[in-house]
Chains A and B, each alone.
Chain A
Amino acid sequence: MSDSVAPPRSVAARPALLELFRAFVVVSVSGFGGALPWARRMIVDQRGWMTAEEFNEAFALSQFLPGPNVVNFSVVFGSRFGGAAGAAVALAGLMGPPLIIVTVLAFLYAQFGDIEMLGRILAGITSAAVGLLIAVVAKMAAPLFRKRWDWAPLIAIAAFVGVAIMQWPLPLVFVVLAPISIGLAWIKR
């Protein structure tokens, strides 16, 4: 096997496909308010499929990729352990149960969404969820604005203004700002 040349990986054996599927089902149904902490718990703490370092590395990649982070992570993780089949199985495990649940909720909303009481509850939840999002932004911003890396906050503010205030399309804002930001990161290092 190629294990002899590869750098030392985590100790546990490779999970079988069925196990992989089941693990991601568990992550998806327990992952209220974001599945990441649950993925980490299962993969690093419980199963030992990855070391904490390997997990961070794989997750950094998932964050850098466009699209939903946890979805990317399931593909990155699954492909590492089982190639294309592993990626498909992990993705199916992650997305299957929530899709069924949310489709039922969508149906119920279509039937009962006009009920005033339900509307009031959802309005309260939305207000709370926005607060949660603001907290996420604050946590992400703290290290960025503290570091003496003066251009980064400017890029963040420009992205915010472009999308939130000017209401320009996201692809446009991204195509302009991302190369500038990457270029600055390249020069300033």
Chain B
Amino acid sequence: MNDNPLIPLFGYFAMLSLFAVGGANAAIPEMHRIAVDVMHWMSDRQFADSFAIAQISPGPNIIIVTLIGYHVAGLAGAAVATVAMCGPTCVFAFLVARTWDHFKEARWRIAIQAGLVPVSLGLIGASAFVLARSADHNIYAALITAVTAIVAFATRINPLWLFAAGGILGLSGWL
């Protein structure tokens, strides 16, 4: 391992940032594929833990890349991963924001917006699937997932309560 890990870290996340339509949640499977399966930066378990920490941290969930970067290469890794994930898309957003308003009614714009919705839906669904496979190793864990899904779908409860309940049940040693 004499290769500098910062280079693939930057390359993967910079590319990923341009395809992650649907945000952090849509990019989870690809992050998992790269970090766990391709680059062997972390174990399945560590990836699932990083996801949990990103969820309970304030701010955008994309912060999971900071955790992955830190795991790979400390502070430098955290900085590189975060800049790579946010940089290209921020520049893109800045450029598009200046012109977008002019095309409010344009047919191509409406088609792009409508066409991307089902793609990002499928990607976020895939995230849930990949994470469930990493996290739910027994029936109790799967039950926590199922109950949380139903409660979150049916009510407007603050997610922090659901995380707290999951954490307490986890601590109780059922999982």
Q: Contact check, A71 vs B52: say whether CB atoms are below 8 A apart.
A: no
Of the candidates A35, A95, A181, the one whose C-beta lies within 8 Å of that of B119 is A181
> Which size class do A's interface residues fall under?
35 or more
Question: Which B residues touch A136, using CB under 8 A?
Answer: 25, 124, 152
Q: Contact check, B58 vs A181: say whether CB atoms are below 8 A apart.
A: no
CB contacts under 8 Å to B, within A71-124, are: 71-72, 75-76, 79-80, 84, 87, 91, 94-95, 97-99, 101-103, 105-107, 109-110, 113, 117, 119-124
> What A residues does B27 contact at CB under 8 A?
170
Interface segment among A14-22, A40-48, A138-146: the answer is A138-146
Partner-A contacts on B (CB < 8 A): 15-27, 29-30, 33, 37, 45-46, 48-63, 66-67, 70-71, 75, 78, 82, 85-86, 88-90, 92-94, 96-98, 100, 104, 107-108, 110-132, 134-136, 141-142, 144-153, 158-160, 162-163, 165-171, 173, 175
A68→B60 contact, CB < 8 A? yes
A170-B16, A178-B115 given; name 10 further pairs at CB < 8 Å. A63-B23, A68-B20, A71-B62, A71-B90, A98-B59, A102-B53, A102-B63, A106-B67, A132-B149, A178-B21
CA of A164 to CA of B160, assembled, Å: 27
| B170: contacting residue among A110, A127, A137, A157, CB under 8 A | A127
Chain A nearest CB, measured from B94 CB (Å): 5
Contact of B153 among A71, A139, A171 (CB under 8 A): A139
Q: Is B115 a contact partner of A185 (Cβ separation < 8 A)?
A: yes
**Contact with A33, one of B100, B146, B158 (Cβ below 8 angstroms):** B158
| Residues in B whose Cβ lies below 8 Å from that of A119 | 45, 49
By the criterion CB–CB under 8 Å, are A164 and B93 in contact?
A: no
Given A99-B82, A102-B63, A182-B111, A125:B167 Cβ within 8 A: yes
Interface of B is mostly: helix
The residue from A69, A94, A174 contacting B59, defined by CB atoms under 8 A apart = A94
User: Interface residues of A: mostly helix, strand, loop or mixed?
Assistant: helix
Residues of B within 8 A of A107 (CB): 70
Q: Is B30 a contact of A124 with CB atoms below 8 Å?
A: no
Q: Are B126 and A159 in contact (CB under 8 A)?
A: yes
B122–A160 CB distance below 8 A: yes
Q: Tell me how far the C-beta of B101 lies from the nearest C-beta in chain A, rounded to whole angstroms.
A: 8
**Do the beta carbons of A159 and B123 come within 8 Å of each other?**
yes
> In the complex, what residue of chain A is closest to B144 when comparing beta carbons?
A127
The reply to whether A71 and B16 form a contact with Cβ atoms under 8 Å apart is no
Q: Is there contact, CB below 8 Å, between B29 and A127?
A: no
Distance in Å: Cβ of B151 to nearest Cβ of chain A? 8
Task: List which A26-71 residues lie within 8 A (CB) of chain B.
Answer: 28-35, 57, 60-71
Cross-chain contact of B63 among A98, A153, A162 (Cβ < 8 A): A98
Q: How far is the CA of A85 from the CA of B63 in the complex (A)?
A: 23
Residues in B neighbouring A167, C-beta threshold 8 A:
29, 33, 37
Query: Is A163 an interface residue when CB atoms closer than 8 A count as contact?
Result: yes
Contact residues in B for A184 (Cβ distance below 8 Å): 115
B125 pairs with A132, CB closer than 8 A? no
Q: How far is the CB of A20 from chain B (nearest CB, A)?
A: 15
Assess whether A124 is in contact with B168, with CB atoms less than 8 Å apart.
yes
Rank and list the top 8 A-B pairs by shortest CB-CB distance, nearest first: A124-B170, A159-B122, A131-B148, A98-B59, A67-B89, A128-B166, A182-B115, A33-B159
CB-CB under 8 A for A67 and B144, given A75-B97, A126-B51, A129-B52: no
